[in-house]
Amino acid sequence: MQAVQREIAEQLKVQPPFKDQTDLEAEVARRVAFIQQCLLNSGLKTLVLGISGGVDSLTAGLLAQRAVRELRASSGDQGYRFIAVRLPYDVQFDEHDAQASVDFIEPDERHTVNIGPAVKSLANEVAAFEGHQAVTRDFVLGNTKARMRMVAQYTIAGAAHGLVIGTDHAAEAVMGFFTKFGDGACDLAPLSGLVKNQVRAVARHFGAPEPLVEKIPTADLEDLSPGKPDEASHGVTYAEIDAFLHGQPVREEAFKIICNTYNKTHHKRVMPFAP
């Protein structure tokens, strides 16, 4: 079992557990520097990120804001900026958490794009939905919401001459728990390789409010199951996924679920298949 866990962890470039506070701070500094280098390499000065109210976007936003603040200070160029984007589907049930996240990050700019009208308009034009059950339509449109959010972010990034940040990390990557060409599409993924408890640790390091750090993770894409916890979709807990990725013992059923899901979602983690 450990050999399989080790192989998957290597594939996903999983970072080892933080040994202490010094180790955590060094990792934060490395990821901030990574964001800065991405901007410098691109010749652009703006970062764009959708803030959902969950700890992943909160943490990525905190890293991004620190990155641009440090670039402004070191270069004297005030053109560097971070744009936080709210992307509700009409009215989001946990909007207060999303706003609390944005408030804590204190981004240079705040934008809001309601994706509801666009998603509904598209759904009304899709004849392929005819004859399908409501639950099927709801699930498909959940992925459409994620893709529409990415379209909005890239539209803003295009207008602002910037890069789009993704929030994918190792615990989601191993489960393929992202929408292909939706939240899985981005220019840089500063949380890559971290497991869920490490993402929380980074947020806590920034002093983020504990209710946001420990908030139950949810993609919140399905109208028929609003706020459905990620773990209910996974069939395993994030604690088990984190343990698996760090080579620690997990129950046999959890091992099977994670491995099977990892194999089934392989296509999400690679470039499009080609002959």
pLDDT, residue 226, reads 87
216 located within any domain? yes
Query: What's the CATH number where 134 sits?
Result: 3.40.50.620
**What's the whole-number mean pLDDT along residues 72-94?**
96
**What's the whole-number mean pLDDT along residues 138-160?**
97
pLDDT, residue 274, reads 94
Dihedral over Cα of 266, 270, 274, 275: its sign? negative
Give bridge partners of residue 48 from the DSSP assignment: 83, 164
71 located within any domain? yes
190 located within any domain? yes
200 located within any domain? yes
**DSSP 3-state of 169:** coil
Cβ contacts of residue 139 below 8 Å, gap of 6+? 222
Strand order in 46-50's β-sheet?
109-112, 81-86, 46-50, 162-164
Among residues 141, 53, 148, 149, the alpha carbon closest in space to that of 102 is found at: 53
11 located within any domain? no
pLDDT band at 1 (very low <50, low <70, confident <90, very high): confident
Distance of CA 230 to the CA centre of its chain: 13
| Residue % of the chain over a pLDDT of 90 | 97
Give me the count of residues in the chain: 275
Cβ contacts of residue 92 below 8 Å, gap of 6+? 53, 98, 220
Instruction: List active site positions.
Output: 56, 172
* pLDDT one-digit tens code per residue, 88-111: 999 988 999 999 999 999 999 999
256 located within any domain? no
User: How far apart, in Å, do the first and last CA atoms of the chain sit?
Assistant: 33
73 located within any domain? yes
pTM of the model: 0.96
How many domains are there within the chain? Answer: 1
Among residues 73, 70, 64, the alpha carbon closest in space to that of 46 is found at: 64
pLDDT at residue 39 greater than cutoff 90: yes
**What's the whole-number mean pLDDT along residues 250-264?**
98
266 located within any domain? no
Domain of 26? 17-229
**What's the whole-number mean pLDDT along residues 226-239?**
95
